[in-house]
Amino acid sequence: MKYQTQKIAQIYFIVAMALFAIQVSGGLLAGWIYVAPNALSELLPFNIVRMLHTNSLIVWLILGFMGAAYFLIPEEAEREIHSPMLAYLQLAILVIGTLGVVVTYVFNLFEGNILLGQEGREFLEQPLWVKIGIVVAALIFLYNITLTVLKGRKTAIANVLLIGLWGLALLFLFAFYNPENLSLDKQYWWYVVHLWVEGVWELIMASILAFLMLKLTGVDREIVEKWLYLIVATSLITGILGTGHHYYWIGTPGYWQWIGSIFSSLEVIPFFGMMAFAFVMVWKGRRDHPNKAALLWSLGCATLAFFGAGVWGFMHTLHTINYFTHGTQITAAHGHLAFFGAYVCLNLAIFTYAFPILRNRDPYNQVLNMASFWLMAGGMTFMTFVLTFAGVIQTHLQRVLGENFMDVQDQVAIFYMMRFGSGVAVVLGAVLFIYAVLAPRKEIIEPGPTRSVPAE
């Protein structure tokens, strides 16, 4: 480890992995409720389980991004983080806010209270006081990181990461705007949800992936930066206007059907570019880096992001198709593989690369780590296919033939059972990953038996 303040990243990664464990456990529980709808209905209703699942996902991914920034910015800027104390204060605010959200959700506290109660907007259910805390923490973070970069060396990786992180924070401000008109509400709601995951988060993904490729392959920085600029340009051009594919059926003007269809179809380009970038860098580098697990997660991130966000997104993004498929299990299939490929794998890649360095050790437990990749990636891929099949049947029976929603759910129940099975594989893989990263085995090399050499 070259800079001492890189150690800040370790606590962020540990908290993120704790929330990761909660998130996948919540997902498994939600999957079981699909199989047995009355499970825990009185103690922990499905809507609460789903909120915990989705919100913990968002929080741990953001904590991972922040930890990655604290890890890579010192190396890119060639100087220590401006204020470690502010970094730990920011983390404390986020942890307190997260605990407050969990307590509010589970016990349904302060119902009807504007400041303390949950708002009920999907993914943005957090109470107002938590949203304010998130903004304060984000401002502290951006001040700390930006000052570090401005006083140090400026690189394309650091600059793109900063743009992505600033965009993430500024777009979250739309979470405070909750107009009474439902169409207007959804329009601005997508400013947060879509422009995060299909806009500024892609910049964060591209910059962290570029950093990993730089370190793992040994390719010249100039080549990496050219690819990075190309990916950023296509991400912004397609992602911003691609927001229109969420505007098809919410009461906005009809021209959004064409804008959304055209530009969201092009959103596959930056994800294909990231996949090509990762594999070309490995091919060009031909470097035998000792951390094979980090390389596997990096390549897996680019590949699964292309299929989950690119291919599965394209499958139902045209408005003529989306008219039938929106809100079905096809959407769930796309969302699960896209999030896992693009952002979960990205965070797990930087965790895998950083922990041996932060702990001043050689890469450890790599076989277990790579086994966790195949368990999680295999489980999530199977889940995606299962949900896709369920969605196709649901679309035909419900949207084309006009059958009742609950009757259709009964007919696709077999797919929910298979989805639960794939969820078990994902949870086992997550547990194995956390063990592999946090519990390095003691490597003791014992001398072998001494052989006597016969005299000549």
Pair 178, 165: CB distance under 8 Å = no
Pair 168, 231: CB distance under 8 Å = no
Tokens, residue 118: 């949950």
d(CA 144, CA 142) in angstroms, rounded, equals: 5
What residue type is assigned to position 436 of the chain?
A
d(CA 382, CA 133) in angstroms, rounded, equals: 38
Residues in the chain: 456
Output the CA angle 342-356-138, nearest 5 degrees: 50
- 349 φ, ψ (degrees, to nearest 5): -65, -45
Tokens, residue 249: 């059926």
Pair 103, 109: CB distance under 8 Å = yes
Tokens, residue 89: 């204060």
Per-residue pLDDT of the chain (456 residues; tens, 9 = 90+): 789 999 999 999 999 999 999 999 999 999 999 999 888 888 888 988 998 999 999 999 999 999 999 999 999 999 999 999 999 999 999 999 888 888 888 877 766 666 666 777 888 888 888 899 999 999 999 999 999 999 999 999 999 999 999 999 999 999 998 888 988 999 999 999 999 988 899 999 999 999 999 999 988 899 999 999 999 999 999 999 999 999 999 999 999 999 999 999 999 999 999 999 999 988 887 767 889 999 999 999 999 999 999 999 999 999 999 999 999 999 999 999 999 999 999 999 999 999 999 998 889 999 999 999 999 999 999 999 999 999 999 999 999 999 999 999 999 999 999 999 999 999 999 999 999 999 876 544 344 454 444 444
Kindly tell me the number of DSSP H helices and DSSP E strands found in the chain.
Answer: 18, 0
Name the nearest CA neighbour of 313 among 344, 250, 377, 268.
Answer: 268
Name the nearest CA neighbour of 429 among 27, 40, 138, 73.
Answer: 27
Q: With the C-alpha atoms ordered 290, 208, 7, 12, is the resulting torsion angle positive or negative?
A: negative
What residue type is assigned to position 431 of the chain?
V
**Radius of gyration in angstroms for the set of CA atoms belonging to the chain, rounded to a whole number:** 23
From residue 411, how far is each of 217, 333, 391, 406, 407 by CA, in Å?
Answer: 49, 18, 11, 9, 7
Name the nearest CA neighbour of 76 among 5, 157, 136, 142.
Answer: 157
pLDDT of 42 reads 80
pLDDT of 218 reads 86
| DSSP type of residue 117 | S
Q: With the C-alpha atoms ordered 95, 97, 101, 104, is the resulting torsion angle positive or negative?
A: positive
d(CA 60, CA 24) in angstroms, rounded, equals: 11
pLDDT of 112 reads 63
| DSSP type of residue 397 | I
- 328 φ, ψ (degrees, to nearest 5): -95, -175
DSSP-derived 3-state class of residue 131: helix
d(CA 281, CA 302) in angstroms, rounded, equals: 12
d(CA 95, CA 175) in angstroms, rounded, equals: 20
pLDDT of 439 reads 86
Pair 13, 64: CB distance under 8 Å = yes
Pair 126, 52: CB distance under 8 Å = no
Pair 281, 226: CB distance under 8 Å = no
pLDDT of 444 reads 41
Any idea which residue has 């906005």 for tokens? 252
Q: Is the pTM of this model over 0.85?
A: yes
pLDDT of 129 reads 87
| DSSP type of residue 246 | G
End-to-end CA distance of the chain: 52
Neighbours of 264 (CB within 10 A): 25
pLDDT of 451 reads 47
pLDDT of 115 reads 65
Pair 302, 278: CB distance under 8 Å = yes
- Which residues in 66-77 are b (16+ Cβ under 10 Å) and which e? bbbbbbbbbbbb
pLDDT of 455 reads 46
d(CA 134, CA 128) in angstroms, rounded, equals: 10
d(CA 195, CA 193) in angstroms, rounded, equals: 6
